Amino acid sequence: ADFDAKKKRKVAEIYQALNSDPIDVATLRRMAISEGGLLTDEIRCKVWPKLLSVNTDDLPPLPGKELREDNKDYQQVLLDVRRSLRRFPPGMPDDQREGLQEELIDIILHVLKRNPQLHYYQGYHDIVVTFLLVVGDRLATALVEKLSTHHLRDFMDSTMDNTKHILNYLMPIIDQVNPEVHDFMQSAEVGTIFALSWLITWFGHVLSDFRHVVRLYDFFLACHPLMPIYFAAVIVLHREQEVLDCECDMASVHHLLSQIPQDLPYESLISKAGEIFVQFPPSELAKEAAQAERTAASTFKDFELASVQQRPDTVLRQRFRERLRGEERLRGEERTKSILTKPRTNRFVKLAVMGLTVALGAAALAVVKSALEWAPKFELEIFP
């Protein structure tokens, strides 16, 4: 009864935000981040376009079949979509699924044709099918196009340089929160390739329960483009004991981490990812990995819906401060201080030699180097 009452209150608050003039995007972001996310696909159809600033009154016409003629990506898209059977609800009639697969191909080819600067990558269809199943083909086409030119832009370059740059954040995040796990993974030389399919499909490829996938999409759409890499870090941190109990070698740790558990405590992990983002924002971790190229992460301010609407990072910070205030009342200032200043261990030698910034830079370079070295060997494990 209490759950139903909370759900009703949340639904009412979402519709109130949608009916505001102008639409209260800050509240919609808060609803998407907070426990349970946006609750239903019916609500997602209304809220996801607002989070992406897509005008639903001016949707593009459905793409025609002529897209498939002489299209350089058609054969690869066709192969990937044919292999995507498990991304459709179990028990769906074959003819319905086959119809959706045809729509999936058309959406992908439409976005690529309209944006020739974008390059298809294996796993892109895992993101597109999520939007197709939730909002239908026409709205999915508009949402995916906006997403592809903003949040996913780095994955759609002609090279993987920017994707590797984003993976480069994983170890510094882990290092800030749990240096012991970080040092163990560095000793094992595991790299970050185990998280590649998580990142570039927004976990759509690796989670079997569709409810968990759309819950994460609520969260990611409401946040900074780098939030998926923070969530990846939180999964690793959640498995701290398993990691530390593992044989300290690359193959063993990679095998453990690439098998993502299906029973993760998603709500607490989402909350933790938001807290870590606020404590250690990308700007603090990016200096040593800065690139000349403009990435989606660095151009996120350009994408903000309007100056009058609140930035998603601000929503996260407010939520974090509210939680801190509550804990301060309950446990006093010492508890708050411990959350904000995680004690560091076993760092004195490294810090004395090169300083924290340089140390993180060296770790980040090692991560990319090892990811590149192991990538060909683990190609089949990235997309099993």
Q: Is the same domain home to 166 and 123?
A: no
Domain that holds residue 218: 160-309
Asked if the structure places residue 356 within a domain, the reply is no
| pTM reported for the whole predicted model | 0.79
Residue 160 DSSP SS3: coil
CATH number at residue 206: 1.10.472.80
Q: Rounded distance, CA 319 to CA 202, Å?
A: 23
The pLDDT of residue 342 is above 60? no
Q: Are residues 166 and 115 in the same domain?
A: no
Question: Do the domain assignments include residue 349?
Answer: no
Residue type, 147: L
Query: 174-212: per-residue pLDDT in tens?
Result: 999 999 999 999 999 999 999 999 999 999 999 989 999
Domain identity same for 145 and 218: no
DSSP string covering 30-67: HHHHSTTTT-SHHHHHHHHHHHTT--TTSPPPPPPGGG
Q: Are residues 81 and 65 in the same domain?
A: yes
Same domain, yes or no, for 220 and 134? no
Higher-pLDDT residue of 311, 356: 311
Computed over every residue of the chain, the mean pLDDT equals 81
Q: Last residue of some domain: 138, 155, 172?
A: 155
> How many structural domains compose the chain?
2
309, 344, 366 - which closes a domain = 309
Do 147 and 183 lie in one domain? The reply is no
Q: Are residues 290 and 174 in the same domain?
A: yes
Give domain status of residue 321, yes or no. Answer: no
Confidence of residue 293 (pLDDT cuts 50, 70, 90): very low
pLDDT at 352 over 60: no
Residue 336 lies in a domain: no
Q: Which of the pair, 325 or 92, is modelled with greater confidence?
A: 92
